[in-house]
Structure 1
Amino acid sequence: MRNETRGTLELTLAMVLSGTLGVFVVESGASPFTVVFFRCVFGAAALGAYSLARGFFTGHGFTPRKLGLAALGGAFIVLNWVFLFEAYEATSISFATVVYHTQPFFLVLLGAVVLRERISAAKLGWLAVAFAGLVLVSGVRPGDTASLKGLGLALAAAVLYALSTVVTKRITGVRPHLVALVQVTVGIPLLLPFADLGEAARLGTGWAWLAGLGLIHTGLMYVLMYAAYAKLPTARIAVLAFTYPAVAMLADWLVYGHHIGPVQALGVPLIVLASLRVTRATRTRAAAAAPRTAARAPEAASPAATRSA
């Protein structure tokens, strides 16, 4: 029980940190590509140092195929960050975060298309509930180009998240910290041509916010999450994951005065409830299958396999 309590505290803290990510992005004052580039730089340094200190590079478990899958998943996850941060600029942290949490449904749809997984009637019903919630949350009116752009960017980020998860699920026998390290390292050369280094040189105090995104929101946050996952049942993980959007909305209101309207607010519990039901069902099925793979090394869990940004 003490182990589970510690895991609960670790995951709650990780989700609270994730909920403050949008504030760090906005306060950095940098463009989304530049923000993600330096998040990858600082994040790679943090995860690399932690993995080296823990001896994770010894017997790492990577093969050329697994390394290629991690790199592909990394390309999807860093582009997911770019689209999400663009959505923050186009609308607000609250709006983008709620829309972004349609991720589990794109994962279900991709599983059906790519992995030929069967979609149950219950999941189809929850997909319909989530879609109804999305329509309410969007609150898009004719001519409201900012909201339409933000909606599209957040949905694109959710799709990229789901693609990364589908790819990363195929990596086994590698510590999740190392998979995450590969993914953020891939982001450095991938985003370098698009990062505005001249802009970065003029950021001043913005550098502290960029460093925080890498060291806190990519290093510390993922270490906490992976430690918690080993201690908690899947149902509790699914529930605690929703600390992230709740904190993000609270932070957006406290710092910037942004909040969603009354009609939009009606859609939030629909998306949260539907996402929770689908996520718990998926993780319960995965847990049931775990005994068949218990003899293998720990299965990978990357940033794409978590319920955070």
Structure 2
Amino acid sequence: MSTDTRAPNQEKKGAIELTLAMVLSGTLGVFVIESGASPFNVVFFRCLFGTIALGLYCLLRGYFKNHGFTAKKLGLAALGGAFIVFNWAFLFKSYEGTSISVATVVYHTQPFYVMLLGSLIFRDKLTATKFGWLGVAFVGLILVAGVSASDLTGSGDGAYLAGLGYALLAAVFYAVSTLITKRVTGVRPHLVALVQLVLGIFLLLPFTTLSQTKDLGADWGWLVGLGVIHTCVMYVLMYSAYQKLPTPKIAVLAFVYPAVAMLMDWAVYGHSVSWLQALGIPLIVAASLGINLGWTFKGRAAKPAVPAAAPAPAPAASKVEINSGGTR
């Protein structure tokens, strides 16, 4: 007998909220590129405008009362935030060498780094099935990466290989942040995210070239949008949806993000993946769902694994955490 007490209308509302959040996440790359700012400048202003918007939201909702932070929880949130903000910088840097489509799909392998790091750090059990899904994801990653022999010998486009490396590094940093932040319990995820955004302002200031922003003009709107739309609004939608949806629906809806990102990359910049790269995408999708939902290769589903959070700082107080998406 099911113990899930979610009302159908609440679940429907949660599905709409998460879909909207993932659609917004899919437009992130366009805002980054159109801003014309360097990756570190983009992340700095995302943190700045995101802090203002999310801070006002938390203030209006009264979240600062009985916040639940202790010195240890605050330290863990800050440590996770350090990895989150540099994860953004590496992801945005990867757009320069590859494309939004390729970088997003490569970045979407982060659940497997969460799994591997969890086994190394917290001794989480790795079953044969999980290793099998990891192998499927690896094959998909090889296909999506589209690395040729010339790239490996140095006679090809070195920037493309570097872009792939940045996307992979961003995914690893996100995985580390997820493992750290998930240990912050009893605190609203909005406040955890706010701590990480505030930290990002000071952490990235030494890497930010403010003199480059004097000629942005109307492009400031893209940076403001990253802070208000892709940080505050998107986080609020995601954290609200997480409370209303079961894990399987969250895991599936998380893939709206890369789908929209690829569509935007094609519609705005004319970028598309090759047929060979396209073969790798369903492999990564299947492997991610297999890990998150506990699928086995024998056709019987194991108990669904609780996934880890998507593109935003991992929600510490939400009922579930998404492994397969992210804001990235």
Q: How does 1:1-309 map to 2 (within 5 A)?
A: 1-141=8-148, 142=150, 143-281=156-294, 284-286=304-306, 298-299=317-318, 307-309=326-328
- Rounded Cα–Cα distance in structure 1 between residues aligned with 2:318 and 2:236: 15
Kept after mapping to 2: 8 A contact 1:75/1:183: yes
Which stretch shifts more, 179-188 or 192-201? 192-201
Distance 2:278 2:325 in 1: 25
Cα drift, residue 206 of structure 1: 1.2
2:158 maps to amino acid: T
Whole-angstrom distance in 1 between the partners of 2:73 and 2:263? 39
Relative distance call for 1:283 and 1:259 in structure 2 (3 A) is farther
Per-residue deviation, 1:301:
7.8
- 1:241–1:308: 8 Å Cα contact kept in structure 2? no
Question: Secondary structure of the residue that 1:177 maps to in structure 2?
Answer: helix
Letter in 2 for 1:308: T
Q: Structure 2: where are the runs of 5+ without partners?
A: 1-7, 151-155, 295-301, 308-315
TM-superposed CA distance for 1:303, in Å, is 9.8
Q: CA deviation at 1:275?
A: 1.1
C-alpha spacing 1:86/1:161, structure 2 compared with 1 (3 Å): same
- Paired residue type of 1:284: P
* Distance in 2 of aligned mates of 1:73 and 1:163: 7
User: 1: distance between equivalents of 2:211 and 2:303?
Assistant: 44
The answer (yes or no) to whether the contact 2:26–2:260 under 8 Å persists in 1 is yes
Shift, 1:270, TM fit:
0.5
With over 3 angstroms needed to count, the CA separation of the structure-2 counterparts of 1:303 and 1:182, relative to structure 1, is farther
Please report the RMSD computed on the Cα atoms of aligned residues, expressed in angstroms: 1.9
Whole-angstrom CA distance in 2 between matches of 1:2 and 1:163: 35
What is the rounded CA distance, in whole Å, between the counterparts of 1:304 and 1:189 in structure 2? 28
- How far apart, CA to CA, are the structure 2 residues paired with 1:232 and 1:137? 30
Please tell me whether the aligned partners of residues 174 and 299 of structure 1 are also in contact (alpha carbons under 8 angstroms): no
Separation in 2, partners of 1:161, 1:93: 17
Note if contact 1:177-1:302 (Cα within 8 Å) is conserved in structure 2: no
User: Secondary structure of the equivalent of 1:116?
Assistant: coil
Provide TM-score, normalisation by structure 1: 0.93
Distance 1:164 1:300, change over 3 A: farther
Q: 1:170 to 1:181 in 2, by over 3 A?
A: same
- Secondary structure in 2 matching 1:205: helix
Residues 205, 181 of structure 1: alpha-carbon distance in 2 compared, 3 angstrom cutoff:
same
> 1:200: how far off?
1.2
Question: By how many angstroms is 1:284 displaced?
Answer: 3.0
Q: Residues of 2 paired with 1:147 and 1:140: CA distance?
A: 8
Aligned equivalents of 2:125 and 2:106: distance in 1? 25
Identify if the C-alpha distance between structure 1 residues 305 and 247 changes in structure 2 by more than 3 Å, giving closer, same or farther.
closer
Do the aligned residues in 1 keep the contact of 2:242 with 2:318 (CA within 8 Å)? no
Letter in 2 for 1:166: L
* CA deviation profile, 1:70-100 (whole Å, cap 9, x unmatched): 0000000000000000001111000100000
Deviation at 1:205, TM superposition (A): 1.2
Q: Percent identity?
A: 63
Question: Which ranges in structure 1 are unaligned for 5 or more consecutive residues?
Answer: 288-296
**Secondary structure, counterpart of 1:38 in structure 2:** helix
User: If each structure's helix is expressed as a fraction of its own residues, which one has the higher value?
Assistant: 1
> In structure 2, do the counterparts of structure 1 residues 178 and 300 end up closer, same or farther at CA, with 3 Å as the change threshold?
farther
State the SS of the aligned residue for 2:168: helix
> 2: distance between equivalents of 1:125 and 1:56?
43
